[in-house]
Amino acid sequence: MSYFITGTDTGVGKTLISCALLHAFAAKGLRVVGMKPVACGYGEHEQNEDVRQLRAASNVLAGYGQINPYSFVHPVAPHIASINFGVRIELERILTSCRELQSQADVVIVEGIGGFKVPLNEKQDSAELAQQLELPVILVVGMRLGCLNHALLTADAIAAYGLKLAGWVANVLDADMPALHDNITALEQRLPAPLLGVVGYQAQPEAQVAAAQLNIESLQSHESDAA
Protein backbone atom coordinates (compact mmCIF):
# COMPACT_ATOMS: atom_id res chain seq x y z
CA MET A 1 0.00 0.00 0.00
CA SER A 2 2.53 2.56 -1.13
CA TYR A 3 1.75 5.34 -3.60
CA PHE A 4 3.49 7.89 -5.79
CA ILE A 5 1.87 11.32 -5.54
CA THR A 6 2.05 13.56 -8.57
CA GLY A 7 0.28 16.75 -9.56
CA THR A 8 -1.01 18.64 -12.55
CA ASP A 9 1.65 21.28 -11.92
CA THR A 10 3.82 22.70 -9.18
CA GLY A 11 2.01 24.39 -6.31
CA VAL A 12 -1.17 22.32 -6.57
CA GLY A 13 -1.02 20.87 -3.06
CA LYS A 14 0.94 17.62 -3.41
CA THR A 15 2.47 18.02 0.05
CA LEU A 16 -0.90 18.82 1.64
CA ILE A 17 -2.51 15.74 0.09
CA SER A 18 0.52 13.54 0.80
CA CYS A 19 0.35 14.51 4.47
CA ALA A 20 -3.42 14.05 4.47
CA LEU A 21 -2.99 10.52 3.12
CA LEU A 22 -0.44 9.79 5.83
CA HIS A 23 -2.90 10.95 8.49
CA ALA A 24 -5.74 8.93 6.94
CA PHE A 25 -3.75 5.70 6.80
CA ALA A 26 -2.31 6.26 10.28
CA ALA A 27 -5.86 6.63 11.62
CA LYS A 28 -6.41 3.03 10.54
CA GLY A 29 -3.57 1.88 12.76
CA LEU A 30 -0.98 1.56 9.99
CA ARG A 31 2.70 2.46 10.14
CA VAL A 32 3.18 5.32 7.68
CA VAL A 33 6.06 7.36 6.39
CA GLY A 34 6.34 10.08 3.77
CA MET A 35 9.18 10.39 1.28
CA LYS A 36 10.31 13.33 -0.85
CA PRO A 37 13.04 11.93 -3.15
CA VAL A 38 14.11 15.35 -4.43
CA ALA A 39 13.48 18.70 -2.74
CA CYS A 40 14.53 22.13 -3.96
CA GLY A 41 14.48 25.15 -1.69
CA TYR A 42 15.38 25.35 1.99
CA GLY A 43 13.19 26.73 4.74
CA GLU A 44 14.17 27.28 8.36
CA HIS A 45 17.11 25.36 9.81
CA GLU A 46 18.25 24.37 6.30
CA GLN A 47 15.35 21.97 5.87
CA ASN A 48 12.91 21.82 3.02
CA GLU A 49 9.41 22.73 4.20
CA ASP A 50 7.73 19.90 2.26
CA VAL A 51 10.06 17.37 3.89
CA ARG A 52 9.42 18.85 7.32
CA GLN A 53 5.68 18.48 6.87
CA LEU A 54 5.98 14.90 5.61
CA ARG A 55 8.11 13.95 8.61
CA ALA A 56 5.62 15.56 10.98
CA ALA A 57 2.75 13.58 9.43
CA SER A 58 4.62 10.24 9.61
CA ASN A 59 4.49 7.89 12.57
CA VAL A 60 7.60 5.93 11.54
CA LEU A 61 10.89 7.48 12.58
CA ALA A 62 13.24 7.31 9.59
CA GLY A 63 16.49 9.00 8.74
CA TYR A 64 16.35 12.36 6.98
CA GLY A 65 18.51 10.99 4.18
CA GLN A 66 16.08 8.12 3.62
CA ILE A 67 13.10 10.43 3.45
CA ASN A 68 14.89 13.01 1.32
CA PRO A 69 17.90 11.59 -0.56
CA TYR A 70 18.47 14.78 -2.57
CA SER A 71 17.98 18.29 -1.20
CA PHE A 72 19.10 21.53 -2.82
CA VAL A 73 19.15 25.13 -1.63
CA HIS A 74 17.67 26.90 -4.62
CA PRO A 75 13.96 26.56 -5.53
CA VAL A 76 14.56 25.76 -9.20
CA ALA A 77 14.09 22.68 -11.39
CA PRO A 78 15.97 19.73 -9.83
CA HIS A 79 18.30 19.05 -12.76
CA ILE A 80 19.39 22.71 -12.65
CA ALA A 81 19.73 22.72 -8.87
CA SER A 82 21.81 19.55 -8.94
CA ILE A 83 24.17 20.92 -11.62
CA ASN A 84 24.66 24.09 -9.58
CA PHE A 85 25.41 21.92 -6.55
CA GLY A 86 27.80 19.66 -8.47
CA VAL A 87 25.70 16.53 -7.90
CA ARG A 88 23.97 14.14 -10.29
CA ILE A 89 20.59 12.79 -9.20
CA GLU A 90 20.79 8.98 -9.37
CA LEU A 91 17.53 7.05 -9.48
CA GLU A 92 19.09 3.97 -7.89
CA ARG A 93 19.85 5.90 -4.73
CA ILE A 94 16.20 6.92 -4.52
CA LEU A 95 15.01 3.38 -5.16
CA THR A 96 17.25 2.06 -2.39
CA SER A 97 15.89 4.61 0.09
CA CYS A 98 12.32 3.76 -0.88
CA ARG A 99 12.92 0.05 -0.39
CA GLU A 100 14.41 0.76 3.04
CA LEU A 101 11.33 2.76 4.02
CA GLN A 102 9.01 0.04 2.72
CA SER A 103 10.72 -2.42 5.04
CA GLN A 104 9.92 -0.15 8.00
CA ALA A 105 6.36 0.94 7.22
CA ASP A 106 3.03 -0.42 6.01
CA VAL A 107 2.48 2.60 3.77
CA VAL A 108 5.05 4.81 2.05
CA ILE A 109 3.75 7.98 0.41
CA VAL A 110 6.29 9.18 -2.16
CA GLU A 111 5.75 12.79 -3.15
CA GLY A 112 7.07 13.76 -6.56
CA ILE A 113 8.41 17.17 -7.47
CA GLY A 114 6.51 19.60 -9.67
CA GLY A 115 4.38 17.91 -12.33
CA PHE A 116 4.70 14.37 -13.68
CA LYS A 117 7.57 14.88 -16.14
CA VAL A 118 10.15 17.08 -14.44
CA PRO A 119 13.80 16.57 -15.52
CA LEU A 120 16.00 15.04 -12.82
CA ASN A 121 19.25 14.71 -14.74
CA GLU A 122 20.44 15.06 -18.33
CA LYS A 123 18.36 12.08 -19.50
CA GLN A 124 15.88 10.98 -16.85
CA ASP A 125 12.80 12.63 -15.38
CA SER A 126 10.32 12.14 -12.56
CA ALA A 127 8.05 10.02 -14.78
CA GLU A 128 10.88 7.50 -15.18
CA LEU A 129 11.40 7.59 -11.42
CA ALA A 130 7.73 6.72 -10.88
CA GLN A 131 8.06 3.94 -13.45
CA GLN A 132 11.07 2.44 -11.70
CA LEU A 133 9.41 2.70 -8.28
CA GLU A 134 6.53 0.67 -9.75
CA LEU A 135 4.01 2.31 -7.45
CA PRO A 136 0.39 3.14 -8.24
CA VAL A 137 -0.08 6.87 -8.76
CA ILE A 138 -2.40 9.32 -7.05
CA LEU A 139 -2.96 12.52 -9.02
CA VAL A 140 -3.53 15.84 -7.24
CA VAL A 141 -5.55 18.13 -9.47
CA GLY A 142 -5.29 21.79 -8.54
CA MET A 143 -8.81 23.05 -9.18
CA ARG A 144 -8.33 26.29 -11.08
CA LEU A 145 -8.69 27.51 -14.64
CA GLY A 146 -6.87 25.13 -17.01
CA CYS A 147 -7.06 22.11 -14.72
CA LEU A 148 -9.05 19.93 -17.13
CA ASN A 149 -6.38 19.94 -19.81
CA HIS A 150 -3.56 19.49 -17.29
CA ALA A 151 -5.31 16.62 -15.52
CA LEU A 152 -6.20 14.70 -18.67
CA LEU A 153 -2.74 15.13 -20.21
CA THR A 154 -1.14 13.96 -16.98
CA ALA A 155 -3.41 10.91 -16.84
CA ASP A 156 -2.44 10.07 -20.43
CA ALA A 157 1.25 10.37 -19.53
CA ILE A 158 0.83 8.11 -16.48
CA ALA A 159 -0.80 5.46 -18.68
CA ALA A 160 1.87 5.85 -21.37
CA TYR A 161 4.50 4.89 -18.79
CA GLY A 162 2.59 1.74 -17.93
CA LEU A 163 1.60 3.00 -14.50
CA LYS A 164 -1.72 2.63 -12.75
CA LEU A 165 -3.68 5.71 -11.78
CA ALA A 166 -5.08 4.56 -8.43
CA GLY A 167 -7.10 7.68 -7.69
CA TRP A 168 -7.20 11.45 -7.88
CA VAL A 169 -7.92 14.31 -5.51
CA ALA A 170 -9.59 17.59 -6.39
CA ASN A 171 -7.76 20.24 -4.36
CA VAL A 172 -9.58 23.55 -4.57
CA LEU A 173 -7.04 26.34 -5.03
CA ASP A 174 -9.42 29.08 -6.15
CA ALA A 175 -12.20 29.74 -3.65
CA ASP A 176 -14.19 31.50 -6.38
CA MET A 177 -13.48 29.11 -9.26
CA PRO A 178 -16.35 29.34 -11.77
CA ALA A 179 -18.20 26.07 -12.46
CA LEU A 180 -16.15 24.16 -9.88
CA HIS A 181 -18.58 21.25 -9.63
CA ASP A 182 -18.99 21.04 -13.40
CA ASN A 183 -15.21 20.77 -13.75
CA ILE A 184 -15.06 18.02 -11.12
CA THR A 185 -17.86 16.14 -12.89
CA ALA A 186 -16.03 16.41 -16.21
CA LEU A 187 -12.94 14.84 -14.65
CA GLU A 188 -14.96 12.12 -12.92
CA GLN A 189 -16.36 11.17 -16.33
CA ARG A 190 -12.95 11.10 -18.01
CA LEU A 191 -10.31 9.98 -15.53
CA PRO A 192 -9.95 6.18 -15.25
CA ALA A 193 -9.73 6.18 -11.45
CA PRO A 194 -11.93 7.10 -8.48
CA LEU A 195 -12.19 10.56 -7.01
CA LEU A 196 -10.76 10.18 -3.50
CA GLY A 197 -12.16 13.45 -2.29
CA VAL A 198 -12.70 17.14 -2.87
CA VAL A 199 -10.49 19.14 -0.52
CA GLY A 200 -12.08 22.51 0.00
CA TYR A 201 -10.21 25.77 -0.22
CA GLN A 202 -8.13 26.57 2.86
CA ALA A 203 -6.41 29.92 3.32
CA GLN A 204 -4.05 28.16 5.73
CA PRO A 205 -3.93 24.52 4.56
CA GLU A 206 -4.05 21.87 7.28
CA ALA A 207 -3.37 18.24 6.43
CA GLN A 208 -5.64 16.82 9.13
CA VAL A 209 -8.55 18.87 7.83
CA ALA A 210 -7.82 17.60 4.32
CA ALA A 211 -7.55 14.00 5.59
CA ALA A 212 -11.14 14.16 6.83
CA GLN A 213 -12.23 14.93 3.25
CA LEU A 214 -10.54 11.88 1.71
CA ASN A 215 -12.02 8.45 1.17
CA ILE A 216 -9.03 6.11 1.06
CA GLU A 217 -11.34 3.09 0.99
CA SER A 218 -11.87 3.95 -2.68
CA LEU A 219 -8.24 3.00 -3.28
CA GLN A 220 -8.75 -0.55 -2.04
CA SER A 221 -12.08 -0.86 -3.87
CA HIS A 222 -10.51 0.25 -7.14
CA GLU A 223 -7.63 -2.19 -6.73
CA SER A 224 -10.05 -5.04 -6.03
CA ASP A 225 -12.12 -4.17 -9.11
CA ALA A 226 -8.96 -4.00 -11.26
CA ALA A 227 -7.84 -7.41 -10.00
- Residues with catalytic function: 36
| C-alpha closest to that of 196 among 207, 186, 206, 188 | 188
Say if residues 196 and 218 touch (Cβ distance below 8 Å).
Answer: yes
Say if residues 139 and 165 touch (Cβ distance below 8 Å).
Answer: yes
**Residue 195, exposed/middle/buried by CB under 10 A (0-12, 13-18, 19+)?**
middle
Query: What count of other Cβ atoms lies within 10 Å of the Cβ of residue 179?
Result: 10
- Distance from C-alpha of 175 to C-alpha of 173, rounded to nearest angstrom: 6
The b/e string for 43-58 (b: 16+ C-beta within 10 A; e otherwise) is: eeeeebebbbbbbebb
